[in-house]
Structures are given as C-alpha cells and as structure tokens.
Chain A
Amino acid sequence: MIELKDVIMEYPGHRALDGLCLSVPDGQVYGLLGPNGAGKSTTINLITGLLQPTSGRILVGGIDVTAEPERARGILAYVSESVALYPLLSGIENLQLFSRLAGRHLNRRECSECLDRAGLQGDAHERRVGTYSKGMRQKVGIAIALAKEARAVVLDEPSSGLDPSASHDLSTHVRNLASDGLAVLMATHDLFRARETCDSVGLLVNGGLRAEWKASEVKDRDLEAAYLDIVSDHSSAAAAGSTK
C-alpha cells in the first residue's frame, strides 16, 4: 500500500504540495492525473525518498519513507518515462546488475524468466540495451520491479512516447503487477490509458487532490470534460489569487 497523509512540500517561495492525502491499496492501480506543474513529479520524488516532505507522512507498505527510507526503498520499485539502463549491457546483464544492487542474486535463467514475465521477447534478452526501443526498456524496468519482489511500484509517465500497441502492452503488464498484489501508482497525462489501466484515478491540481474517481465511475463520466473543468477552475482561482 502507498499512503500519503497531509503531505506539504514547500520549495523556497513556492508550495508544491498542499496537504495531499492519497492512498493506493495493494492489488490496485492508481492513476495520478494533472497538468504540468501540478505536483506529480514532486509526489513521486517524495514517495521514492528523493525529497523529504515539509510536513505530513508518506508510507509504503506501512513503512514511513521519511523515518526509514532504506527499508521503504527495499519494497518499492520505480519505472520512469524513459527507463534509464546501461546501454552497453544486455537486458539480462542490466537486470542482474540492478537486482544485485537490491540484494537479490539472480542467475541468468531467473533473469530470463523475469524478462519473459515483463513481456520482453526472448531474442532481445542477450542484446545490448542500447539497441532497445523505449517500450522494450520499460519492460526491463518492469522486470526489475518483479525481480526485486517489490510491494509497490511507481510509474512516471510510462506511456509517453509509446505507440498504441506498445502502450496497450504496457497496460497489460501494469495490470499484471496489480494482479500480483502490488500497489501501483501511475502518474500520467494519458487520460485514455489511465481509464483503461487504473482502478482509481485522482486529479492533482496546484498541489492538491481536487477529484478522485473509481474505475467504474470514470467509465460513466466524460473524464476529459471533467479534467478540463476542474483544471480550468483552479487555474482561474490561482490566477485571481496571485493578482490579489
């Protein structure tokens, strides 16, 4: 489970998150939507422990990220928009390396299995990652999460730049992660993919969660219209506030 309780994050002269409360239960995929500058990246950096909140608590699998960052990181995986790997190593070698760093010594067969589970074609396992497409690198990212036996995964704009087929593929594998009991938080701009992949969707604007919908509700509403309404209202309010 990923939980954020009354999280405030302030940068000099700017409040990025304003009492954010959010919860992602195990076995569920949560889609975090929001315009640029809404606070999505800050939220992810806080969950991954790269930033420390000004106040509030962040829990991953019940572990306080601020108090016990290393234990929290031990059960958390991260897949970025463009998964960064060592281009001169093969898929298996990258997986082996990152697993070893996480304290798990996998042999080549186990690595191969993980890559298979993440959907990477067998003939690509031994190829250098420098030759991979973006989608293939994301599959290696997912394999790293699987190999780590993480209990929570954070995905940052995973479908950005992928073709529809690769994007669909990715959705399937993200859903598989949730089926395995992992709590999955996915920050995205892609409303269609969020609606297709997630169990719940939250809309983050100006550092606060302005709306949340269950998957069933999302399908019943016009998500795009709701998104635009809420973002537009809050942008106008923010502009008025700054004018005053």
Chain B
Amino acid sequence: MIRTALVLELRNLLRSPLRLLVVPLVLVIGVFVLVQGQQDVDRWQDAIDTGQLAQEESIAEALGYFADGEKGPPDRSWVDLGQAHWQDMYAATRIARMPAPLSSIAFASAESGAVTVRVNRFADPLLEQGNKIENPALVAAGGLDLVTVLALLLPLLVLALGVEVGGYERSAGVLPLVRVQSGGDRTWIWARCIAVGAIAATVGLLLCFVAVLTAGADLGSGLTLTLLVLAYVAFWTALLGVVAQVSRNPSHGAVALGAAWIVFCVLIPSIGVERSAALAASDFALDLTVDARDAGSAISKMDEDDLFAGLFARFPELKGKEPTPRMSGRRAANEGMRIAVLDARMQRREGRGDAFAQLVSKMSLATPTLAFTNALEQLAGRGPAAAREFNKAVAEAAGVRMEHAIAASWSGDPQDQDDFSDLVHSTPTRIQPPTPIWRGSLAILLAWVLLILGGGAVFARRFRS
C-alpha cells in the first residue's frame, strides 16, 4: 500500500504547481546556504593559515638571530632572546581551532569563539573574540544556514505536501470507498503520510549529501547527519499521521499542523530564549573585567607563603626549584599565580556555561526542533561547548609557557636555541573540535516519535469513538 501511496504522492507532486515549486525551493535555498557555509569555512581556514604564516615568520626571525649570534633586532637593544620573556614573545604560537568536518552546516551560529589565539604566558582566552566581525542587526535576524533550513523548512515541506492527507478523504467522502476497497482507511492514511515523509526525507538527505560532498566530510559525520535528519523527518511524519487521522477537512489539517509547527518551532524555542535572557541578566562579567584587572595588584599584595602555596598547587613541578631567598623569585611567582587565578575564573565561567547547557538540554526535551538544532550545532563543532574546549586548551598552553618561563627565570640560566625550539614545540598548534554529543538528541527525537505515535493512537481512538 505504501508503494501505491508513494505513486499517488509523486503524481500529486508533479501535477500540483504549488508543490512542484516548494520542493525545488527548499533544495535551492539549502544548496545556496551550503555554498555560503563552505565560504565561511574557507575564511576560517584562511584565518588559520594567516596566523600560521605570521607564526612561521616570527620563529624564522628568532632562529635568524640565533644563527647570527645576535640577541635580537639591532634597532631594539632591549630585546634579548637569551631571556625566557623574549623567547616566549617570539615563540608566541598561534593555536588554531580547527573546523569540524561539517562546520559549514551551522555557519550562522551565534557562537563566535576565537579561531586562532596567539599564545604566550599572558594569554587570556576568555578575552579573545571570534575572527568574524558581525553585523548585530543581521545576526539578530536568526541566521540562515543548513541547520535553519533543516530545522524549520523541512517540517514545513512535510506540512505543505501532506496538508490535505486524511482531511481531504474525509471531507470528499473518499474514505468509505477506501475502506471498502482496501479494508482499512487508517492504513491508507498512514501510507500516504509515510509517502510524504519519504519525499521530504529525500529532500533532506539530498541536502545532507551535498553538505558532506562539498565539505569533504568523513563517512561517520555524514551518517550521523543522515540519522538525525531521518529521525527529525520521522517525528514530523508521525505528527502528520496523527493529524491526518482526525482532521475533518484540509482546512482543519492546515490549522492543526500549522499550530503544531508554531508551537514546536517558534513558541517553545522562544520560551527557551527568554529563559536564557533571564539567566544572562545578572552577568556583566565582573570576574572577567574589573576583578581580572585587579587580580594582578591583589596577587602582588598576597602573603608570600600563600602565594607560593597557590603557585605550587597549580604548578607542582616547580616545587623545590624556587630561588633562595624566595623573595628574588617573587615577580615570576606573581605572574604564575595569574594563571592559577585564570584557571579559577575559567572554572566559574564553565559553571555558568553549564547552566546554559542545562537549559538547552531541558528545552531540547520540550521540543524536538531544539534537540535537532543542538545536535547539528554539536556536529558542526560550532556550539559554545566547542569554544569552551578550545579556551581550555589555550589556557593549558599558556600554563605550560608560564611554567617554562618561571623555571627559566628562577634558574637564572641563559636560554638558547634549543630552549626556544622546546618552547615552540611545547604548544599545540591545532585543536580539533570536541567529539560531538548527538546520541542524546537522537534519543530525544526517537522518544518524541514514539510519544506522538502512542499519544496519537489514543487520541485517534477516542476521536473515532
């Protein structure tokens, strides 16, 4: 019966100018945003390459001075590559945040974490900004990328193609005929809905295929994207099926499906945004601004024992390497303590970030659209979690630099080319995006499908009785 229904839906599609317009429209918009997304990823890659080039020039310059036996540029007498401080400056490695294989699908994400960060021992990843200069007026519009197309337009495609299923049969009196001919009208309506879902899924999968192809993504990412899209289409198909079982005419069907789309895609997400605004209301980043600025003077006023205890807690390897008297190593210890303070600040920020992540998780339970959006952003390596992971890696690298600088400062040994090379190699140059967490979202989508089918069956039975 599904085959018969599919033939009918395909005929309907080819013979109705409106439907014939809608399918290519979604495809064209999808391909267009994918091209834009790929260009965005190219710009991302360009920023990484530019940073890398600057990095190589800086290292080559320093190696040139070592080769010529000079301390630094002749017109800057204060530069001394024999000192840990200047080695740190010249070795300031650019850490690049690498795009995920499918980064192009979520290029309009509001998250604007940094793409490359110049790491020295004073680096503060929390103050870094993204490479994109964004027009807030355009960002506020919500962004249009493949995630938006799949999350908002794909359900509309299901609705547009299936709006009259069930309602038409009932209002035009076709249902008794179907019942007599096939023995079950419910099966026929479900078959039609599945056929509509199959067409919509084909459109979604075509876009996924183009996304994977243009990005050159790996099979695993492609399959994950496919699974998520299929689950999302399954949810809307199930919803279409339930509405089709009870709608009296196409008008009822249109209003019911339209209302469902509005609730799942507009209303519930908007409650989430309002909650996130409430969560953000009291955060004016005092910890990142006033407190961070004044931390330096607070550290310089710290009791010596407390300072060194704090420093050794953060850098246990330094314990026992401090000069005597300790006072002579205080300046380096002060700098080191800043990293410990930065760590504490990042932890607090992580706590705040977790609160937002929990909100997103809770809201994802409330609507499959958010679960789907969240999973795709994860897959694209664009979400705030990816930015946080990157910041952590930068802070870690800054810590390594700091430890090296303090050790060198305390030992008082002059630094040579080998130390410089060690410094360069001690900092990672590329940070890969974190492994996307999408299984939870997929489970939510499937749970919604079951819920709709189960609830719909009960509702349809009561409606019929």
**Do A and B touch (CB < 8 Å)?**
no
Interface residues of B (CB under 8 A from A): none
Interface residues of A (CB under 8 A from B): none
